[in-house]
Copies of this chain bind each other. A is one copy, B any other.
Amino acid sequence: MKKEIPPGDNRLRKVCSNCATIHYHNPKVITGCLPVWEDKVLLCRRAIEPRKGFWNVPAGFMELGETTEEGAAREVWEEAEAKVDIWGVHTVFTFKRFANVYVQYLGELVDGKYGIGEESTEVKLFSESEIPWEEIAFESSTFALRKYFEDRKNGVRQAHSGHL
């Protein structure tokens, strides 16, 4: 593997010394959904690193062959065994250092039911005053939660863009 600027490009890329394949490294999409039920939101306590033991909005790496919405619903199912009716885009949050882009939707639990998915040790509905702000796994989730409660107070639904 060597580093060079391919023809027509303007950035150093990793190029295989054997087969000349250009290995582009681009940001990855993490897709998720903040599920709402009555006046509460659903969070999962992480069973895995990073940030094991902290609470998070259901989310994970988007896979090939799915839309961001399908990926978000899949993650809610995998982490919280819940079905969600997606309302719309809630936040787009970039972690520059890790080159991750979180696309978070807002949605509603279909029937209020949920369980404990493989990657969670606990899943729970929280009202605003119950949110464990000091134990939220990632800044993207804190951002999504704060914006949700702000918007709800103001009676608006809108998308937000943030970064760290």
Interface residues of A (CB under 8 A from B): 11, 24-29, 61-69, 86, 88-89, 92, 94, 96, 99, 101, 103, 105, 157-161, 163
Contacts and interface: CB of A to CB of B under 8 A. Distances in A.
Given A101-B68, A103-B103, A160 B89 contact: yes
Contacts of A101: 29, 62, 68, 103
Contacts of A24: 28, 61
Number of this chain's copies in the complex: 2
B159 A89 contact: yes
A41 to B, nearest CB: 19
Contacts of A99: 64-65
Given A29-B26, A63-B11, A68 B92 contact: yes
Contacts of A94: 66-69
Nearest to A163: B67
A11 B74 CA distance: 14
A11 B25 CA distance: 21
25 contacts: A11-B63, A24-B28, A26-B62, A26-B63, A26-B64, A27-B29, A27-B63, A27-B64, A29-B29, A64-B99, A65-B99, A66-B94, A67-B94, A67-B96, A68-B161, A68-B163, A69-B163, A88-B159, A88-B161, A89-B89, A89-B92, A89-B159, A92-B92, A103-B103, A159-B159
